[in-house]
Amino acid sequence: MLLFENVRVFTGHTLLRSANVTIDDGVIVSVSEDATPEAAEVIDGRGRTLLPGLIDAHAHVFPGDLEQAALFGVTTVLDLMSDPVQAATLRTPSPYRADLRTAGTAATVPGGYGWYLVDMGLYPPFPTLTGPDDADAFAASRFAEGSDYLKIMLDDGTTTGIPTPSMADETAAALVAAARDRGRLAIAHTLTAAAARQALRAGVDVLGHVFVDRPDPSLAHELGDTAVIPTLTVLTALFGSSHAGGRLAGDPRVAPYLSESSRALLTMGSFPLPDGARHDLAVATRTVAELRDAGVTLLAGSDASNPGTAHGATLHHELTLLVAAGLTPSEALTAATAAPAARFALTDRGRIAPGLRADLLLVDGDPTANIDATLDIAGVWLAGHRLPRRTPQPPEEATSIPTPGIGHLQNLRSSSDVTFKAR
């Protein structure tokens, strides 16, 4: 039995100033502010905060990413588009990697948003939809091959200035219905206010980004139970400052735990966009504040593996941006723990409570007062097992899908006809 003694506890919703938390056989046994129980191992929690393992609600995984995420206390990763064959290999249980849920292949139209990944050589060709009659079979195939939820691409290229075929309302609605018929969630990629409204008409459960093209203040009050993953970090990297990634990569709390390819991706500058590209990062930041004030459920997501991101580390930066946009530190922490667990029906995690999985992050200081303290990591536990924190090694998994290493990324960066986009 493991005991965290006299530790500050953020439960996923509230803060306990001093408590004793016991762990046994990978499960939280008790959370008490009373007497200290006996335990084989005792960890002094004075001056520290125990958090649920963080949940990244928007990422795209390649070999090695889940191991790096875990080093930063991100114990569950929700992948919102990946090659299903590769994802299946990454779901093999391991005491050294974050737990994975995946959308697998996203739903898009021929030549639509997401197909550029095939052109870049990052993904093999995948099925697309020509109309609503394709929706049910598409959804059935995705869930049969292991997808946990459905990702729908709604993007006409407005924000990048590159016109792109986009999905019709009827097809989007049919996909949502197909997911719902199977008891699954539907998540939409939306970067514009118009796409967000299209997703709302279709009935999606989650918007994968906050919109970045123009203000739409009334939308916050129309979303109802639809959750939003702002992904402010990747929007900043793509449409704003390209320097934040370099600063994060240089943080001594981050640098030792980045793989070589992650460091290259994190420090990669923005790609030039055509003059017709329409985006305003200030719109995204203001919209997050409007969503928060309207009571919309916000989920923290990094959108790693995009330029300016790194698995694990970027989720911590995302929390600082959410706080800068108007969330309290506790609200930001909930967005990375209890809120995504509830929305994605991960009933065994996301909170510190008896009976739940012992995915835990111990930090020095109090991140409910200073959100930056989430990176002052004192320890990470995956299902009750302490993770040794060390420089990540190259992934061992063999895969037919190229991992975005330094040489590949440099080639992409120098290419004039390729643009990375938030996924």
**CA atoms of 67 and 74, how far apart (whole Å):** 9
Residue with token string 């959370």? 31
What phi and psi, each to the nearest 5 degrees, are found at residue 157? 85, 10
343-370 pLDDT, tens digit each? 999 999 999 999 999 999 999 999 999 9
Task: Give the other-Cβ count within 10 Å of 133's Cβ.
Answer: 11
- pTM equals 0.93
87-123 pLDDT, tens digit each? 999 999 899 999 999 999 999 999 999 988 888 888 8
Residue 109 has a pLDDT of 97
Evaluate if residue 206 carries a pLDDT over 50. yes
In the sheet with 99-102, reading across from the earlier edge strand, the strands are 54-59, 74-79, 99-102
Residue 121 has a pLDDT of 86
pLDDT band at 394 (very low <50, low <70, confident <90, very high): low
Task: Give the other-Cβ count within 10 Å of 301's Cβ.
Answer: 30
Please give the distance of CA 17 from its chain centroid, rounded to a whole number: 28
Higher pLDDT, 421 or 110: 110
Q: Kindly state which CATH superfamily the domain 53-348 is placed in.
A: Metal-dependent hydrolases (3.20.20.140)
Name the pairing type of β-strands 150-153 and 186-189.
Answer: parallel
Burial letters 65-101, b for 16+ CB under 10 A, else e: bbbbbbbbbbbbbbbbbbbbebbeebbeeeeebbbbb
Q: For residue 57, which of 375, 416, 339 has the smallest C-alpha distance? A: 339
What mean pLDDT is reported for the chain?
A: 91
Task: Give the other-Cβ count within 10 Å of 329's Cβ.
Answer: 22
pLDDT band at 396 (very low <50, low <70, confident <90, very high): low
Residue 395 has a pLDDT of 62
